[in-house]
Structures are given as structure tokens and as C-alpha cells.
Structure 1
Amino acid sequence: MKKKIVISSILIAVAVVMFFFLKAVFRGDLILNPIIVENLGPFTIRWYGVLIAAAIITAYLLARRKAFKEGIKEEHIIEGIFLGIIFGVMGARLYYVAFNFEFYRGDFWSIFRTWDGGLAIHGAFFAALLVAFLYVKLRKKAQLNFFQVTDLFTAVLPLAQAIGRWGNFMNYEAYGSPTDLPWKMFVPEQYRMPGYSKFEYFHPTFLYESLANIAIFAFLYWYLEKRRNYGEVTALYMILYSTIRFFVEGLRLDSLYIGQTELRTAKVVSVVLFVAGIVLFILARYKGKPVKRVS
């Protein structure tokens, strides 16, 4: 009981601090610095990198706890996470660069400067699915089910995304169109998108998606404990996140587009994943294998 009271008190205190912090930033009274420490030898430590690292570690610890309950060994968890991080980041970056190639055409080395932002979650998602598939097929001694792995991954992924979005916040990126709503966010002129230099306040789309992802995580992490078949959690993630992303993407000013069209890449991919998620959930629910847990 005392432990719950302490945890609740800490969460309330953090929420209060965050409220006043965001209020100051959104009003423009406090201007963020994306760099924590610079000139640390050859390194510069940025909030974006720290928050991405925090997201990965948090997701790993939560997934690990659930993986043990399903009989997955520590060595396989570590191997999977290691490969997932490497190829997930590569996939996220390659996806972003592919749909924003004109920006990088004249400066090849800028492709590798991930600390400045420019990671696409859909790229990381597809790369992680490929890694999971290959790992399950090639590491046969692990005796893993593909959807067992993806269920664990997608259950904690929303929380990692929620944390990662605060990296966008610290970089003043991934915000939305101009607005006069009470929760409007001030963006310094040097961070405003071309053509919007005269506007001061924008939709804090990073916050919309972060809060939505926390809710999705809470539901999926709870759903992992339910009597279910492999693939259900993966399908629900595809449905829920795609719904949120479709509407939030419509507000953003920095969307990636398919070629020279006006089709936003994230919206098209969200529609595809939403439909695929519904099909997968039906198949998993009625034809999938039930989850096996260790006693």
C-alpha cells in the first residue's frame, strides 16, 4: 500500500512539473535547446538521442518481463533486441531518406546524421518485422513463433514511440499547422517550416501522438495477459496506431509525400496497415495458435 502511495505521489509530482514546463514552452517563455552537452571531445549529446535511447531501454525492460512469462530465454531476448535496434534504426532512416531524397541528394553524409532527427516509425516497424521473421526462421533452436515475437514488440512499441516523440519536441519538429487553440505551441522562427515564418503558434502534434500512444500501450500491455492467440496484439497495434497516425498526420507540415503527388506517405501506409490489421486480427482470432505460458 505504501509503495503505491509513493509511486502515485511521484507520478502526480511529475505531471505537475510537466504541466508548468509545457505551459512555459508553449507560451514561448522558455525556449528549448536540443543540445544537452556539446564539445565533449568529438561528441555532442542531444536530447533527441537520449530520449530515443530511453525509449529503447524502457521498451526492452517491459518486453523482457512479458517474454519470460512465455518461456523465451534471456539469450534470445538479447539477440533479438540487439538486431532489432540496429536494423530498426537503419530501416527508420532509410525509409525517411527514400521519401525525402531531394533534401539529401546534395549532401550525402547528412544521411548519417540521425541525431538531427529524421527517423520514420513505419520504416522501423517494417524493418523489425523482417528481422523477427528471419530470426525465427534461422534461429530454429529458439523455438519461437513469429507472431509471438511481434506481439511482444508491438505491445511495448507505442510507449517507445511516446517517449521518442519528446525528442521531436526538443528539436522543434513534427509539429502541426498554425492554430489559435488554447494549447497552441510557440515555435521559434528558426525552426518554422518554409512559408510559415510569420506564424508563431502551431498544433503540438508530437503531444497528440504521444498521449495517444501511451493509451494504446496501456491497452496492449494489458491485453498481453489475456487469453489470446498469437498475432492479436500485432493486429490491434496496426489498427489503433494507424487510426491515430492517419488523423495526426493530416495536421503536420513536415509530412513525407509519395513522389510528386499530394499523397502523404504516412496516411497511405496507415490505411494499408489498418486494413491488414483487421484481416490479421480475424485470422488470428479464429485460426491462430493460442499463447503458451510457463507456470
Structure 2
Amino acid sequence: MIVPSFIPSPPQNGFYLGPLFVHAYGLAYVFAVAGAIFVTRWRWRKVGGDPDIAYEAAAWGFPAGLIGGRLYFVITTPSQIEPHNFWGIFAIWKGGLGIWGGIACGVAAGAWILRKRLTHGDLLRFMDATAPGLLVAQSIGRIGNYFNQELFGKPSTLPWALKISPAHRPAGYAKFATFQPSFLYEIIWNLSLAGFLIWLGNHRKIKPPGLLALYVAGYAGYRIFEETIRIDYSVHILGMRLNFWIATLVCLAGFAWFVYIQKRGKYDPLPLDGPRRDARELRRKPSGPYRKPTAPTYGKKPSSGPRPTSRSGGRRRGADP
């Protein structure tokens, strides 16, 4: 048996389910969403939160991420949109999602929808719980790039080089058959970074959303490397790809954000604040004298304190002497 000295390209980018053609890129996105929800639920349940809010965050965050990612791609690479087809801007099954727009819009939408369900501190803690899940989702999504034969790097003869069919080779590279599998490098990096963030959250006291900041910085750090080997079309500034400069700025900003959070952050990773009270309940006029709400016990018996006294400082009427 002869083992090929390269990674073969897929014969097609999907399959037929009856009369319907299922694109592997879209299928990878569906599995990516499922992977992110699974990891986030597991992380949030582990710290005592309600895992089902991950569904609510995903229901808003991932569609927003899809829209943001497509808008980023259209704005930064308008020449890659088919001008003769009005629906070209919506043809996401052909690829073309900018990760920076997807991350920004997805996180913003998820945070916006959960702001009424969680306290500010718990919202920041939930963001930390989502960071490893987002990396897992990105790793699964990159499998779709493999089936689309896109996001590969410079020509290479390494044993793990990716063979690209002639129809998918960029202009000027028709004579080359194998290329750097940059999508595979990203999968390995993302899964490694996800494991590191999980370990760090379990073994170190990281103020929230410190793990999210490290996710942003760590992923951007990898993209600095990737942008130096990719050969697909991109706007260039000072001889470097646009996303190289964006990744550099995001990486530095992410690390600066992490340092600021750890020095000036107001919230500890645990314990959680508990469910936020409904806004209508907060506006309702109290029926009796104000009583300071007790902190959530999460199944533990509340500690017994001193007996309440009257406003005059004496014991309540009828209290034991």
C-alpha cells in the first residue's frame, strides 16, 4: 500500500440528500454551533450556572456572527463578490466569512440578549465560559474550508501539504499542486488554546472576562502567523495583508485588556451572583418595610445571625428575653 505524501483534496464539497444538495461548509457550521453550545453548557454548569442560557445566547449570537462575518468579508474584499449575481453577497455556502466581524457581532448579540437574565458580574463570567466553546466552533468550521478548498497557504512539498485541484488554485500558482494547509494549523492551534483556557480557568483565579481576553489575544496571535503564509486575495497595506495588521492590533489590544482586567477588575470568577430579578418586580412598590435581600445560598444552609431588632434598638415585641 502506497501512502501519499500529501493530504488529498476532497472529491466534492457536499452530497445530495434526495434532490437537495447539502454543502459541507454549511454542515460544518451547524456542527460548529452544536460544539460551542455543548462546551459552553458544560463550563457554565460546572461553576453553578443555568446551562440552558447557552441556547438563548447561541440563538442570537450565531446568526449575528454569520451576518457580521459576511459583512466584514464583503467590506474588506468586495472584488470577491460575483458582480453579475445580485445574490452573490448572500452566497455564504461558497465561503467568505470574516472571522473578526463574526466574533464582534456574535459576542455583542449574545451579551445584549443576556443582559436582562444575568447580573453584570455573571455576564462577564459567562463570557469566560464561552471562550473555549468559540475556539471549538472555529475548529469545526475550518473543516468546511477544507471541503471548499480554500484558506490554504504557500506552495509546499511537506508530507502534510494539501493537494488543491487546478480549478481552486490562485492565479499565478497553476503549476503548483500542493500547498500549506493553513486551515489545519488553525484547527490544531484553536483546540490547543481551548484546552489551555480550560486548564487556566480551573487552576488559576482569573478575573472575568480575562479568559475571553486571552481568547481574543491568543487567536489573533495565531492569525499574525497565518497571514504571512496565505496566498488568497487580500487588500495589502505596506506590503502586508490587511488582516495581518488587524490581527496585530487585536492581539496587542487583547493582552492589554487582560492585564487591565486582572489589575482593575471588580469581579472574582466565583461565586456567581445568582439569577437576576425581573425588572417588573424591581419596579413594583414594596408592600412592607425594606429588607435587604439575602445572598443566594446554592443549596447551603444560611448561617444563623443575630435576631432582628426594632428601629429603636430594642428587641421585637414578644421576643424571648
Q: How many correspondences in the alignment? A: 268
Q: CA RMSD in A?
A: 2.3
Residue 80 of structure 1 aligns to a residue whose secondary structure is: helix
Q: Which of 130, 134, 146 is the matching residue for 1:169?
A: 146
Q: Deviations over 1:91-134 (max 9, x none)?
A: 11111111111232613301111111111211111112321442
Q: Deviations over 1:174-224 (max 9, x none)?
A: 001112223222111011112211111111111111111111111112223
Higher mean C-alpha displacement, 95-104 vs 203-212: 95-104
| Structure 2 Cα separation of the partners of residues 229 and 256 of structure 1 | 37
Q: What is the Cα deviation at residue 261 of structure 1?
A: 6.5
| Structure 2 Cα separation of the partners of residues 267 and 234 of structure 1 | 21
Question: Who is 2:109 aligned against?
Answer: 131
Question: Who is 2:227 aligned against?
Answer: 249
Gaps spanning 5+ residues in structure 1: where?
1-19
Q: Is 1:26–2:6 an aligned residue pair?
A: yes
Residue identity matched to 2:252: V
Q: What is the Cα deviation at residue 47 of structure 1?
A: 1.4
Larger Rg: 2
Q: How does 1:259-270 map to 2 (within 5 A)?
A: 262-270=239-247
Q: Is 1:103–2:80 an aligned residue pair?
A: yes
Residue 36 of structure 1 aligns to a residue whose secondary structure is: strand
Residue identity matched to 2:11: L
Question: Who is 2:259 aligned against?
Answer: 282
| Structure 2 Cα separation of the partners of residues 69 and 144 of structure 1 | 19
Q: Is 1:115–2:93 an aligned residue pair?
A: yes
Q: How does 1:48-197 map to 2 (within 5 A)?
A: 48-104=25-81, 106=83, 107-137=85-115, 139=116, 141-145=117-121, 146-197=123-174
Say if 2:128 and 2:212, in contact at 8 Å, map to a contact too. Answer: yes
Q: Is 1:231–2:231 an aligned residue pair?
A: no
Say if 2:127 and 2:209, in contact at 8 Å, map to a contact too. Answer: yes
- 72 and 144 in structure 1: CA distance in 2 versus 1, 3 angstrom threshold: farther
Greater fraction helix: 1
Gaps spanning 5+ residues in structure 2: where?
273-297, 299-321
Residue 155 of structure 2 aligns to a residue whose secondary structure is: coil
Residue identity matched to 1:119: L
TM-score by length of structure 1 reads 0.83
Question: Who is 1:7 aligned against?
Answer: none
Identical-pair percentage = 26
Residue 55 of structure 1 aligns to a residue whose secondary structure is: helix
Say if 1:168 and 1:206, in contact at 8 Å, map to a contact too. Answer: yes
Q: How does 1:187-226 map to 2 (within 5 A)?
A: 187-226=164-203
Say if 1:87 and 1:131, in contact at 8 Å, map to a contact too. Answer: yes
- 63 and 31 in structure 1: CA distance in 2 versus 1, 3 angstrom threshold: closer
Say if 1:255 and 1:265, in contact at 8 Å, map to a contact too. Answer: no
TM-score by length of structure 2 reads 0.76
Residue 15 of structure 2 aligns to a residue whose secondary structure is: strand
| Structure 1 Cα separation of the partners of residues 222 and 253 of structure 2 | 16
Q: What is the Cα deviation at residue 160 of structure 1?
A: 1.2
Residue 180 of structure 1 aligns to a residue whose secondary structure is: coil
| Structure 1 Cα separation of the partners of residues 210 and 30 of structure 2 | 28
